Amino acid sequence: MAALPHKNGRSGQRATIREIAEFAGVSIATVSRVVNGSGYVSDKTRMAVESVIREHRYTANRSARGLSAGRTGLVGVTLPRIHPSYFSVIVAGVAEALYELDMRIVLAPTLHEHDREVGLLERLMHGTTDGGLLVLPEESGSELRTLMSYGYRFVVVDPRMRIDERVPTVSAANSSGADQATRYLLELGHRRIAAITGPGDMMATEERLRGYHAALATAGVLPDPAIVIESDWEVDGGRRAGAALFELADPPTAIFAFNDPLAVGAMQSVVARGLRVPEDVSIVGFDDTVESEFVTPLLTTVRQPLAEMGRMGVSLLMRLLENRSFEALHVELATQLIVRASTGAGPAR
């Protein structure tokens, strides 16, 4: 087997645990069991993995990767809740990335409570963890600046609001995704396209509204405030908003919901009125969480790279912990429209 090349072209660069697994043709978990001497691995597999480890100079010793002896090897993750699929997929990406670095995750659910989150962060920063990932944090920009001034290293994943330029962030291309969704409905022939938004004070809502309005403007369609309804990201909110839309004298022929639970709720309200999706009303969501494939018809939606957002957050945090420079403090990952069965042709023009 050829040794891994250095960035300068010379061989001998140390491999990661993922690369060792790929070279040996086994899973990351198998490599970890061999390295740590735990769990069952056949003699043949163990010898093969150890051979690759020797050849590629892999080590699980944190100090060999530049981590100081005073590090805990733990990373704190604050997030509103764990059980909704949106957050759990982000956490899965974080956990996978940390596992490859032989580090561990400390979960701290905040329940959207500001004081609870502040208290949890105080515990995480006082020697409990090496750094943190703050998912949709409740703290204001000034509070995050104060946290930085204490020397705690952290990255914000999916910022709730616009924050200090010096705070590293990872987010999805919300405006682009909304533009894709609305353009697609316009291409299907829809002109009366409703929007069920999230709370108006959130950055994701603001950016998705921008994309929605941009697509309408490009098509020469004037926006109608009567069919833009603010909601709360929940299924019940989507159900209420959908019901309100179909009380209008001129209801929409399509709905763009700003997340999948809102889209599911809107779909339920449509069906409750005896209408059909997509024959009578087309519906598009946002996120591509598991809910999008648990409904009938399957939901057309905008895919956010949620797991990759978690992995990218870990990557930025490691650079901070290792005092390495990086070009972008703010990383925005691409979104993609996923077309399924909940959208169809609009009424004849």
What's the rounded Cα separation, in Å, for the pair 160 and 177? 17
300: nearest Cα among 317, 314, 312, 282: 282
When pLDDT is cut at 50, 70 and 90, the band that residue 74 belongs to is very high
Read off the tokens for 306.
């949620």
- Stretch 20-25: mean pLDDT: 88
Interval 104-144: pLDDT, tens: 999 999 999 999 999 999 999 887 899 999 999 999 888 99
- pTM for the structure as a whole: 0.81
pLDDT the model gives residue 46: 85
When pLDDT is cut at 50, 70 and 90, the band that residue 66 belongs to is very low
Give me the residue label for tokens 């909110």. 237
Give me the residue label for tokens 């993750």. 77
When pLDDT is cut at 50, 70 and 90, the band that residue 175 belongs to is very high
Q: Indicate whether 53 pLDDT > 60.
A: yes
Do residues 254 and 283 touch, judged by C-beta distance below 8 A? yes
Give me the residue label for tokens 């992995």. 311
Mean residue pLDDT of the chain comes to 89
- Stretch 82-107: mean pLDDT: 93
What's the rounded Cα separation, in Å, for the pair 171 and 82? 18
Do residues 227 and 216 touch, judged by C-beta distance below 8 A? no
Sheet holding 193-197, edge to edge: 228-230, 193-197, 254-257, 282-287, 300-303, 336-338
Q: Which residues contact 72 (CB under 8 A, 6 or more apart)?
A: 127, 128, 129, 130
When pLDDT is cut at 50, 70 and 90, the band that residue 19 belongs to is confident
Give me the residue label for tokens 């945090």. 317
When pLDDT is cut at 50, 70 and 90, the band that residue 28 belongs to is confident
When pLDDT is cut at 50, 70 and 90, the band that residue 13 belongs to is low
**Hey, CA dihedral for 137, 288, 165, 160, is it positive or negative?**
negative
Q: Indicate whether 50 pLDDT > 90.
A: no
pLDDT the model gives residue 14: 61
pLDDT the model gives residue 210: 98
Interval 211-268: pLDDT, tens: 999 999 999 999 999 999 999 999 999 999 999 999 999 999 999 999 999 999 999 9
What's the rounded Cα separation, in Å, for the pair 101 and 1? 23
When pLDDT is cut at 50, 70 and 90, the band that residue 156 belongs to is very high
Other CB atoms within 10 A of residue 159 CB = 21
**Hey, CA dihedral for 60, 66, 72, 77, is it positive or negative?**
negative
169: nearest Cα among 198, 199, 139, 209: 139
pLDDT the model gives residue 39: 61
Q: Indicate whether 204 pLDDT > 80.
A: yes
Q: What is the DSSP string of 286-341?
A: EE--GGGGSSSSPPEEEEP-HHHHHHHHHHHHHHHHTT---S-SEEEE--EEE--T
Q: Indicate whether 91 pLDDT > 50.
A: yes
Cis peptide, bond prior to residue 84, ω within 30 of zero: no
Element housing 230 (H / E): strand 228-230
Hey, what amino acid is at 166? R
End-to-end CA gap in the chain:
64
When pLDDT is cut at 50, 70 and 90, the band that residue 4 belongs to is very low
Name beta bridge partners: 172: 333
Q: Indicate whether 97 pLDDT > 80.
A: yes
Burial environment of residue 180 by CB neighbours within 10 A (0 to 12, 13 to 18, 19 or more): middle
pLDDT the model gives residue 52: 87
pLDDT the model gives residue 209: 98
By three-state DSSP, how is residue 174 classified? helix
pLDDT the model gives residue 84: 83
Of 216 and 50, which is predicted with more confidence? 216
Domains of the chain, each with CATH number or no CATH: 17-60 (1.10.260.40), 74-172+306-334 (3.40.50.2300), 174-304 (3.40.50.2300)
Segment of 33-37, 211-215, 327-331 carrying the highest mean pLDDT:
211-215
Kind of pairing between the strands at 154-157 and 131-135:
parallel
